Amino acid sequence: MVRTKVCKISSTNPSENPQIEEEVSVLADKEHEIILYNDDVNTFDHVIACLVKICEHSLMQAEQCAYLVHFTGKCAVKSGSIEFLTPRCAALLEEGLSAEIV
C-alpha cells in the first residue's frame, strides 16, 4: 500500500495572491519490485511453477514473465512494500531462481 502525505505550497508568482495555497500529494513510501533475472539453469516449467506458487500469478501471467525474462534478461514479477516482498523473494531464491528487490 502506498501512503501519501499532503503538503501546502504558496504561489510565488507576483501576479497571483501569495496567500493562496494548493494541496499537493507527495509520495511518502516508495513501492518496490521483485526483479527476476535470466539464468542458464532453470527450465521454463520450473520458473512458471514458482511464479504461480510464490507470486500468485495466473498461468498466463507466469508464462509471459518467463518469456520476458528469457528474451530481455529480467522482468519485474511482483510489486509492493519491502515487508510484503521479502518472503516472496526469499522463496524464489530458495527455489534456485535469481531475484532481487529494488
Q: Which domains does the chain have, with CATH numbers?
A: 32-101 (3.30.1390.10)
Write the pLDDT tens digit of every residue in 49-87. Answer: 999 999 999 999 999 999 999 999 999 999 999 999 999
* pLDDT tops 50 at residue 8: no
What CA–CA distance (Å, rounded) separates 92 from 85?
A: 11
| Whole-structure pTM value | 0.72
Q: Is the dihedral of CA 87, 91, 92, 94 positive or negative?
A: positive
pLDDT at position 22 is 53
